[in-house]
Amino acid sequence: MRWQNGIYWQLAATRGFSELLLGLFGALGYGLLEIFWRGCTHWSMLLAGAFCVFAIDHLDRTCGGIGDWGKACLGGLIITMVELTFGVVFNFWARAGVWDYSALPFNFQGQICLYYALLWVVIAKILLNLLRWLRRGL
């Protein structure tokens, strides 16, 4: 098994490669979730997904004293704030019209709403478990 001692094995063992896989996981996961939920996505959501996964992974690794649901609530808040930030940039400034929650109750400027903020908490809890599983494998 020559490849185990070669460059590919060394690359796979590096933190950079693990980070690359983590970013791809977040980008593809967020994009696919949007396609499943809304039927379409925007390239900016791939960036948002990668950023959310990095942030939630960092939260999980550094905040050991917080329980899983506490981390899920913080993760949901992270995702909601990323959604607000990307909404301001891509929906307001770039006028890309990626989404509009104006028709939903308890929305803020049509960019975030309570319904999705609560849904993000549940998704963050699932994501925490997936990230731990991936971390054990990487």
**Taking residues 40-68, what's their average pLDDT?**
94
Q: Do 98 and 90 contact (CB within 8 A), yes or no?
A: yes
Burial class (CB in 10 A: 0-12, 13-18, 19+), 40: exposed
Domain range list for the chain? 21-137
Judge contact between 98 and 65, C-beta under 8 A: no
Going through 71-122 in order, the beta strands assigned E by DSSP cover: 107-108, 112-113
Q: Is the pLDDT of residue 87 over 60?
A: yes
What tokens appear for 79 in the block? 């995702």
The answer to whether residue 8 scores a pLDDT higher than 90 is no
Mean pLDDT within 78-87:
97
Task: Tell me the whole-structure pTM to 2 decimals.
Answer: 0.84
Tens digit of pLDDT for each residue in 56-74? Answer: 999 999 998 999 999 999 9
